[in-house]
Amino acid sequence: VETTVRVELGERSYDVAVVRGGGPERVAALVRGLAPSGVVVVTDATVARLHGEAMLAAIRAAGRLPAQVVVVPGESSKSVGGVERVWRGLLAAGLDRQGLVVAHGGGVVGDLAGFAAATWLRGVRVVHAPTTLLSMVDSAVGGKTGIDLDGKNLVGAFHQPSGVVADLAWLETLDPGELRAGLGEVWKTAILAGGEPFERLERGGRDDLLPVVLDCVRHKAAVVTRDERDEGERASLNLGHTLGHALEVMLGLRHGEAVALGIAFVVRLAVGIGRLDATVAERILSVGRGLDLPLALPRRVGLGELRPLLRRDKKALAGEVRWILPTGLGSWTQAPVPEPAIEAALTDIAPG
Ligand SMILES: NC(=O)c1ccc[n+]([C@@H]2O[C@H](COP(=O)([O-])OP(=O)(O)OC[C@H]3O[C@@H](n4cnc5c(N)ncnc54)[C@H](O)[C@@H]3O)[C@@H](O)[C@H]2O)c1
Ligand SMILES: [Zn+2]
């Protein structure tokens, strides 16, 4: 199996390696090749406890003395306070412009450390070592970095990594709920990619994660190559995210679970306005059920309480929400949708 995917971006191209075990050594080899003046590993307390020593030891064995910055686990670290903590860690380590940041953790650590690297001395290199399924299939690839400020991801920068190493062995310590949430992004990607990635899940192929992660990384890499700065096609990766983000805030759901609900919703929405064939919709929903994703709301949610949250969506142009809608396997469109159709689709995903 080919386990490396190249993200083609001219002089900013890089490889994403997906491996089963030996992740720290792969990162260390990458570090050696990049020959930085210094290395700072940014991680969170949970990942540091479980996998931090192996990472530091491998980098040391490669002849570098890494510093380590440990942040509090969870979204609250994607904040001005969190990024200040990382910047101060880089300062204390004396990281200069030839230095390297290694982001070892989930999407929070990746977005935070990536943003700190993008801004430190106007930009130093970063290597992503994602440790959650979500970060492996989504956030570690593509160079979006940032922090929250009231709204999610309101402050950020595009900053492509110099390399990515995803070791599936790291997932063995992940909470099953977090793994399932990551499957929400896997489902999203399979719908957008269509073809073999979708059929692999349809065949029940989720248990062997290596090809599944590779499918997702390949699709994301292709989209990012064609639209690095999110001016067109990259918007498709927000499938399920408009409602998903609102539900995440409103109901306190995990990102990936909220996205799954958001996908179930836009599938109904697309059928409702005649853009998606009902048979294809059923195939899509049945793959979601096969991944044990939540496809019904925990409680009834009305458009009235959603409206202010939807308007806050970064992608809402001048207050008009433009929904990403699946129009088939591997195809999508973006369009505003009349409110009665939204009401109807909300009823479709209401609890029992
Ligand atoms: N930049 C992008 O393109 C992009 C794309 C999608 C999502 N995101 C962002 O990603 C973030 C969510 O990422 P996430 O779901 O990985 O959350 P996370 O980083 O908070 O990780 C979830 C939890 O799992 C723990 N954890 C991580 N790896 C572990 C491991 N191997 N074993 C045990 N515990 C582990 C963490 O400590 C944390 O408590 C959000 O902030 C979202 O905005 C960014
Ligand atoms: Zn997402």
Given ligand 1 and candidates 55, 128, 139, 173, which is best to mutate, with the most ligand atoms within 8 Å of its CB? 139
Start-to-end CA span in the chain (Å)? 43
| Res 148: pLDDT | 94
Residues with a CB atom less than 6 Å from ligand 1: 44, 46-47, 50, 73-75, 78, 105-109, 111, 131-132, 134-135, 138-139, 142, 144, 152-153, 170, 173-174, 178, 255
SS3 14: strand
Backbone angles phi, psi at 43, to 5 degrees: -150, 175
Ligand 1 site-directed mutation target among 111, 152, 186, most atoms within 8 Å of CB? 111
Of all ligands present, the nearest one to the C-alpha of 158 is: 1
Question: Bigger pLDDT: 43 or 255?
Answer: 43
pTM of the model: 0.96
Q: Which ligand is nearest to the CA of 178?
A: 1
- Cα(241) to centroid(ligand 2), Å: 7
263 Cα–ligand 2 center, Å: 11
Closest ligand by atom to 152 CA: 1
**pLDDT value of residue 352:** 78
pLDDT of residue 237: 98
Residue 87 alpha carbon to ligand 1 centre in Å: 20
Residue closest to 262 by CA, chosen among 161, 180, 348: 348
**Ligand 1 pocket mutation pick from 108, 152, 165 by most atoms within 8 angstroms of CB:** 108
Q: What is the pLDDT of residues 181-235, one digit of tens each?
A: 999 999 999 999 999 999 999 999 888 999 999 999 999 999 999 999 999 999 9
Question: Confidence class of residue 310 from pLDDT cuts 50, 70 and 90?
Answer: confident
What gap in Å lies between CA 17 and CA 27, rounded to an integer? Answer: 10
Between the CA of 105 and the centroid of ligand 1 the distance, in Å, is 7
Helices (H), 62-148: 80-92, 107-119, 133-134
Query: pLDDT above 90 covers what percent of the chain?
Result: 90
Residue 309 has what pLDDT? 85
**pLDDT reading at 338 higher than 70:** yes
Per-residue pLDDT, averaged over 103-115, amounts to 98
Kindly state the average pLDDT of the residues 152-180.
96
Which strand (E) or helix (H) includes residue 59? helix 53-61
Task: Please give the number of the atom of ligand 1 that sits closest to the Cα of 182.
Answer: 15
Of 124, 88, 101, the C-alpha closest to 40 is 101
